[in-house]
Every structure is written in C-alpha cells, then in structure tokens.
Structure 1
Amino acid sequence: MGLGGKQEAEYTFTLPEQDKKIALEELREDDNIREQSLEQMREWIDKHPAIKKCRTDAPFLLRFLRTKKFSVPLACEMVERYLTIRQIYPNWFRNLDCEDPDLAEIINAGYLVPLLERDNGRCVLFSCAANFDPHKYTSAHMIRLHSMVTESLMDDEMNQIHGYTYVNDEGGFSMAHISLWSLRDIRNIVRCVQNTTPMRHKGNHFLNMNSSAAKLFEYSSPLLSEKLRNRLHVYKNADEIFEQIDKKILPKEYGGEVPLQEMVKKFQDFLKTKRESLLALDDLYIEIDEKNCPLVSEMNEELGMGIEGSFKKLTVD
C-alpha cells in the first residue's frame, strides 16, 4: 500500500528501447528483476518496525533500486538512511515549497536550474555561485534549495537510469559563501549526497574556480568516495568544458542557445506542477532512537581536526 493508502499501480516500462537496453547493461534491470525487487522492497517497508509512513509507489522505490543497481538490501538500507536524514535535518530536507519566498527568490536569481536538454541522456544541473547571495541567505537555504530541485527530478525515469551531470560556475564564489558553513556541516552534507540521496552522479564539472572555491574544494573532495572523486573535473575557463559538455545545451551566457532566465522560467513552471508531491514528502516518517541510531552517531562524530568552527578559521591564499 502507498502512503495515501491506495493500491499500488502496476508498473509498465514506457521509455524507448534504447533506454531499456542501458538499464539492463548498466543496472541489471529487466522486467522480472524489477517486479521481484519492488515486491521485496514493499514487503520490507511494510514489516519495518520503525517506518511508519513511506511511499511505496514504483517511481519512488525505483529511485533507490536503480541507484543501487537492483541490490535490494542496499536499496533498503538507502531508504532507511534517506528517511532518517530527513528526520535529523528538517531544516535541510523538509518544507520544500517552491512558493517559499526565499527559495523562490533564489531560483529566480538563477542559482540552480536543470538545463533544457540532456547530456547523453543525463539530466544536467547548472549552478552559478554568483547568483546566490551569501549576505541574505544561509547554508540551510542553499541545501534546502538543492533538495527541492533534486527531489522534483528524482521520480523521472530518464534521470534514474541515465543519472546526473553537474556544471558549476564558481566565478562568483567568495569568502562570504565559505563563512556560511561549519566544517561539520560540509562533511555531513557530503555524506548525505553520496550515502542517502538516490541519484546516480555521473560527472561534476567546475569552471572559473577561484581561490575561495578552491579552498572549499580542497576540504570537501577528500570526503567523497574514490568513484565520485574521479568524476570531478576542474576547468580554467568555459572553453575547456566544451570538450566534455555540448556547448549548445548550456545557457546562452556560456555559449549555448537559450538564455539562463528563460530556462529558469520554464523550471519555475515545472516546480509548480511538483509542489503538492514535494510538500507531501513531509508526511514520510521513521521513528529514530537517537541513542542507538548508527546514522545519528555517524553525523555527530568528532571531525578529528581539533576544531569545530567554520571556514572563517581557514585562511585563503
């Protein structure tokens, strides 16, 4: 049964044959394994003593199954972590409302937007640090904005199968951006991204990296798994990135065909169609025994660096 108490709809794979082939080759997915895996996950959720409310529809569960290449135990573990992290950090992962004045303003500024066209099937998320005002907004605003954007995209089966590419213009990144973050929060959000978020991260491209952005990169990149570290790419200018990303899909300001603000407007319209389902995520609930929860302990463990402060304590050459 789903979150709303409705009978689960029977799943049908509706994407083109080439996507079915990629799903089989990269994720070991076929009709039989998918049906069995969905059934096993629903049974696991139903019997889980701590999970009180969880979506069990196919688009939601397939987020996790496809991320974990249809290993049901690993997918179930990620569901548990996903639900838990939403409880631990409500200011990061709850109230993902596109009509929230702050989130709406950050979106409208063009800080983070999915491009209109794909990169070899992958959804491309484009961010521009200069369009996030660190004097007006907090790190929680930034993470909640990222959560809203990615949650709006994760039910899309093309995204689940092909994954995501990230293009980040760090030219406007400043010490004011760095000062928003504690070292602990940086470490924990990196852990959330790679251990609790059901997304296939295929490539992370950084351009116009200045000294402030480089300092944050220097601290955070070692926290990633080796696989994700190997998918980080830094470029001196936009021309270098064109060897990896087709220029025409980027915003017009970066050599593409469609202005960034036009992409933003289309994404705002899309977010409105997702508003109800995004807000409904706040109904998901897992009971947490904070004293005995491994994930809580993991997030609260000491940094081992002798300081617990913010990046204000780090000097940037």
Structure 2
Amino acid sequence: MGKLDTLDPQIAAVIDAGYLVPLPKRDAEGRRVVLSCMGRFDPHLYDSCVMARVHSMIVELLLDEPRSQLLGYTHVNDEAGMQMPHVSLWSLSDVRVMLNCIQVHSTTTTHEPRSQLLGYTHVKDEAGMQMPHVSLWSLSDKTHFVNIPHYGVRFFEFAVSLLSDKLKDRVMFHRTSEDLTKHVDPEILPKEYGGTVPLKDMIEELKSKLLTYRSDLLALDDMSVDLYALEKNDLTQDIHSTSGSFRKLELD
C-alpha cells in the first residue's frame, strides 16, 4: 500500500484538508475523540488506497498513546458533503470484509490485559489492502454519524445491519450538528461544530505531531510479523502459567 509518509503529496493534501483529525481535548471518560469529515475528502482526486493510508497513519499515531489504548475512542463522522463517488470508493465486498474484521477485533481490543502486554496485528483483506477503520473502530466505545445525505442512508443502513448487536449499540445517528452536541461536549469539537478552537488550528497541531513521528511511521514498513511468535514468547508462557496458578488457588 506504500509508506505512511506524512510528506507524501497526496497524504499531506488529505491531512491538510481536514478529512481525519484526532481532536486535542478528550471526552469526560478520558477518550480521544476522532473527527472525520467526508466532504473534505475529494473522491475525484484520491482513491480508496489514499483514504486507507490516511486512516492507517492516524491509527498508528493514536495507538502510541497508552491512555488511549486503555480508554478507547469516540468517533464522530460528519457525512456532510458526501457524494455518490464517495460511496463507490469501496465495493460492498470491501465493506463486508472491513466490518467482519471490526467485529473480530472488537473481541480482542486494548481493554484486554493480555492485549495490552502483547500488542496487535493489523488486518489486511485478500488483496493486501489494509482496512482503514478496523483498528480504530474496534477500539471505539461510541461512534456518531451526523449529516448523512438522503442517498447515503441506505449505504449506512446496510453497513450497520452487518454489525453484531454489541457494536450496533455503540452507533448513534444524528440529523444535525446541534443534535450531535447533545451527546458530545461541544467544547471538545472544533469551532465549526460549536467549540472554541478552529479546525484549522487542530489540523496544524496534527501535522506537527505527524512530522514528529514521521520516522516511526516510516519504520513500520521495515517491520515483519512472526506468526509463531506467541508460541515461542516467554512472556506469553509466563502469562499462561500465571493464569493456571490463579485457577488453582483456593480460598479459605
């Protein structure tokens, strides 16, 4: 899929447009709030691969935050400006694969002590393209959708229908930004949504952070995964051994 390079012209343009922005302030539960604005992604200039790379980059950036690993995320999706070309970026088969991955990952999130210790692997579909929302969605405690155009309703109804009841309970739909602020503190959101800090300032902060982590993100391409590592990992064996010991304990 290519390197996650914040200086890549296409990635830089999408980031600069404000398509996907982790907001500086956390919610009342301490969760990082991630805002995506579909109308800020130009489907005539960029394809699904660029979208996936941007999502993957933000996911990697957020997974480096221990607090976020423990507390999860709140995802706010503003679909204002969504066009039919946006919908056609991903085939129904892609959507099915992605949602299936989300449901599998939702059972093995960072909230699990073992996962906190051993880490994660990223999911790729049969074609090798990394699914953009998987890691972030699987760690989301609440996902909000707002300003869905009438021609996009069926698409989201189809997507949500494929989710488990557990994940369906995490999804909320709002007609307007005003409705959204009844569930998400407007102080967390950009000024354009009722907050105080302009979105452009949040974008600049994100760009600065991505530059700071650029070498780490590029280094991901040099990593490989040993599928048998868990079988050979001493820490894993210690955990299994410890778990077995606890099961043998008897209380007086």
Q: Are 1:226 and 2:135 counterparts?
A: no
Q: Are 1:129 and 2:43 counterparts?
A: no
TM-score (norm 1): 0.59
1:111 to 1, 19, 23: 19
1:190 to 87, 99, 107: 99
TM-score (norm 2): 0.74
Paired with 2:14 and 2:154, the residues of 1 have a C-alpha distance of 24
Letter in 2 for 1:111: Y
**Superposition pairs of residues 12-31 of structure 1, within 5 angstroms:** none
Cα 1:136–1:235 change in 2 (3 A) is same
**Superposition pairs of residues 272-311 of structure 1, within 5 angstroms:** 272-286=211-225
The answer to whether the 8 A contact 1:173-1:212 is kept is no
**Displacement, 1:283?**
2.0
Unaligned runs of 5+ in 1: 1-90, 289-317
- After TM superposition, the structure 1 stretch with the greater mean CA deviation from structure 2, 157-166 or 182-191, is 182-191
Aligned residues: 196
Letter in 1 for 2:33: V
Q: Are 1:138 and 2:47 counterparts?
A: yes
**Superposition pairs of residues 74-85 of structure 1, within 5 angstroms:** none
Letter in 2 for 1:264: I
Q: Are 1:236 and 2:170 counterparts?
A: no
Letter in 1 for 2:84: M
Which residue of 2 is the match for residue 291 of structure 1? none
The answer to whether the 8 A contact 1:206-1:235 is kept is yes
Letter in 2 for 1:177: H
Which residue of 2 is the match for residue 181 of structure 1? 90
Q: Matched residue of 2:24: which SS?
A: coil
Identical columns (%): 44
Over residues 39-97 of structure 1, what are the superposed CA-to-partner deviations in whole Å (9 max), with x where a residue is unaligned? xxxxxxxxxxxxxxxxxxxxxxxxxxxxxxxxxxxxxxxxxxxxxxxxxxxx2xx5111
**Superposition pairs of residues 56-95 of structure 1, within 5 angstroms:** 91=1, 94-95=2-3
The answer to whether the 8 A contact 1:178-1:212 is kept is no
Cα 1:125–1:106 change in 2 (3 A) is same
Paired with 1:287 and 1:215, the residues of 2 have a C-alpha distance of 41
Letter in 1 for 2:87: I
Paired with 1:286 and 1:229, the residues of 2 have a C-alpha distance of 32
Q: Are 1:210 and 2:149 counterparts?
A: yes
Which residue of 2 is the match for residue 168 of structure 1? 77
Paired with 1:114 and 1:99, the residues of 2 have a C-alpha distance of 18
Letter in 1 for 2:45: K
Which residue of 1 is the match for residue 185 of structure 2? 246
Q: Matched residue of 2:26: which SS?
A: coil
